[in-house]
Structure formats: structure tokens, C-alpha cells
Amino acid sequence: MIKGYKVEGHLHVKGNSWCGKTSAQDIIRLYKDCHYDGIIVTNHFNRHIYENYFTGEDRASKLNEFFKSYYELKNNTVGIKVYFAVEFALKDDHYNFIFKKDCAEMLVYGITPEEFEEYGTEVIDMDYKELKALSDRMGWIVVQAHPYRESTKLIDVDCIDGLEVFNGNPRHVNRNRRALMRAQKYGLIKTVGSDFHQPHDISSALIFEQLPVDEKDLVKVLKSGKYDTLKGKRALRRFDRKRG
């Protein structure tokens, strides 16, 4: 697909977790300069972040902190479409490199800010089967992020809809080829993402014939398989040259 709309599939913002290093304002500038049409904001949410990162005294104030950077991105004035999604870790499955336990993170696409406000704090206490059941009921999809990264456990394919088959984060060993092979073996949805945290992380894109209208439309397109992917900075440059 030479022509199409270029959308980031995995992105984190400063102010939502310790690992996010780039402000909403700088993210919009960077992605505009790289000719992106849209970004999917996938900030981390897990019990550890909820209890120890956000400083609010109650649930409402903590969720307001969580949403702040998303709405800063959403309200940009340069025409970049912004979609909401979440990278959940369930129960105690968030990464903690001090204790060296294998963990997992789930990219949930199709969830809206309103649905997150209702269910977000419940999701982090669910098991994987419970998340999949809720996701099916709500019209979301569950994609395991970077499934072959170091210190990561594979989640049963019955509990997910897809795999992130390319993760561009340069500070981890992601073994993307193995993720692609597993997705192909089980007929899973294939997503890609830069796993953006820092200014030089932009490295992949989802390519759509038409820009999805909203989070629900995004899920429809991902389920249909009618999209392409760009994996790596060279692929991004080739696409931009062809697109003009």
C-alpha cells in the first residue's frame, strides 16, 4: 500500500508512568514532523502505577491524572488524529526488574475514555480470562505487547485476540520475528508499535486506507485485516518517499 494513513500503534507520554520521558507537546511536534496522520495513546495502567505513581487521594483524582496527557494530545491543533487505548498489566504482572519475575502487558484497543473510567480499576484486578470475556462483551481487542521480550511470559492464545509482532523499543530485546511466527500459527491479529517513550523511538506504523473514525472503528479495521504495517525506520522512510 503506497498511499494510506500512517498511525502510531504504541505510545507512552510523560506524566503517566516513570518510563515516559516525552511531553504531549513534544510528541505532537515529533509525529507531525514525521508525517503521521494519527497516534494511538497506550499509556500504562496497572496496580503499581495506580497506587504509587498517581498522587491523588481518591479514585477520581487519580483517573484525572491518568487522562491529563491524553487530552493534551487529543486537543492538538495540527490535525493529528488521537485514539485512546491502554497497556494494562493485570494483578501483579507489571514489570519489576528488581524481583526479576516474568510478567505480561496487554494492549487493549477499542476501549474508550468513558469505558476506561468505568472499568479501568476493575481490569487491573482481573485474570486473563476475565479480561478477555469483558473485552468480547465491550467490543475491545486484547493484544499481548512484546510477547517475546526478556522477562515476559506468553499468555494463552485463548485469552488474547492478537500479538504485537513488531515492537520498536530500542532498549529491550523484543525478538519480533518469533512474535510474528506465533501470530501466523494461530491466526491472530497482528499489530506493530514503536513503543514510544523517548524522542528517537519512532520506528513503526499501521497503514490504513481510510483513517479510522474512532476507537470502535479502529477495532473493526484491525479485525478485518485490511491494513498494512511498517516495521523499522527504513520502512518509514521508504513509505514517506513513495507517498511524497
pTM over 0.75: yes
The reported pLDDT for the residue numbered 100 is 58
Q: Counting beta carbons within 10 angstroms of the beta carbon of residue 32, is it exposed (0 to 12), middle (13 to 18) or buried (19 or more)?
A: middle
Given a contact cutoff of 8 angstroms between Cβ atoms, the answer to whether 95 and 129 are in contact is no
> pLDDT tens digits, residue range 149-163?
988 999 999 999 999
Instruction: Give the pairing type, strands 204-208 and 189-193.
Output: unpaired
Q: How far is CA 232 from CA 12, 35, 148, 155, in A?
A: 18, 15, 17, 25
Range of the domain at 11: 5-243
> pLDDT tens digits, residue range 11-21?
999 988 888 88
Q: Counting beta carbons within 10 angstroms of the beta carbon of residue 163, is it exposed (0 to 12), middle (13 to 18) or buried (19 or more)?
A: buried
Burial code of 204-220, b = ≥16 C-beta within 10 A, e = fewer? bbbbbeebbeebeebbe
Domain count, the chain: 1
Looking at residue 152, its amino acid is: T
Instruction: Give the pairing type, strands 162-167 and 204-208.
Output: unpaired
* pLDDT < 50 stretches in the chain: 98
CATH number of the domain that residue 195 is part of:
3.20.20.140
The reported pLDDT for the residue numbered 76 is 96
